[in-house]
Amino acid sequence: QVQLEESGGGLVQAGGSLRLACAASGRTFSRYTVAWFRQAPGKLREFVARVTGGAGSTNYADSVKARFTISRDNAKNTAYLQMNSLKSEDTAVYYCAAGTITADGRMVGTTYWGQGTQVTVSS
């Protein structure tokens, strides 16, 4: 089992940057794909990015490509989401998830979730 805890959210002006972190417990973290999702008020949860556990391949939603970068440090059991050129439409609660997650964000089988961290971008 894996427990996840996000950090790094906050209030930032449009055009600014934030780096989110997802700290995991458990010795099997490196085997899992880790993904970031977000949910804005009144909207469905949407996939943002994922990084696989083996080769560390990455995939992104079109809305964040070239602005966000997902990475992981298995030695620290932590995944990151570097967010640059933030826009007001990026405002949401951001969640990290670990499990079997496809390149377009579909989850297969058991998925572990963090509690979320709020990102607010002011225009």
State whether residue 27 is helix, strand or coil.
Answer: coil
Is the pLDDT at 73 greater than 80? The verdict is: yes
For 60, the token pair is: 């992104």
Average model confidence (pLDDT) across the chain: 96
Q: How many CA atoms lie within 13 A of 65 on its CB side?
A: 6
Is the pLDDT at 26 greater than 90? The verdict is: no
Is the pLDDT at 55 greater than 90? The verdict is: no
**Average of pLDDT values for 40-63?**
95
Is the pLDDT at 28 greater than 90? The verdict is: no
pLDDT score of 119: 98
Q: What percent of the chain has pLDDT over 90?
A: 93
The one-character DSSP state at 31 is G
DSSP letters for 50-114: EE-SSS--EEE-TTTTTTEEEEEEGGGTEEEEEE-S--GGG-EEEEEEEEEE-TTS-EEEEEEE-
pLDDT score of 18: 98
pLDDT-wise least confident of 3-7, 25-29, 91-95: 25-29
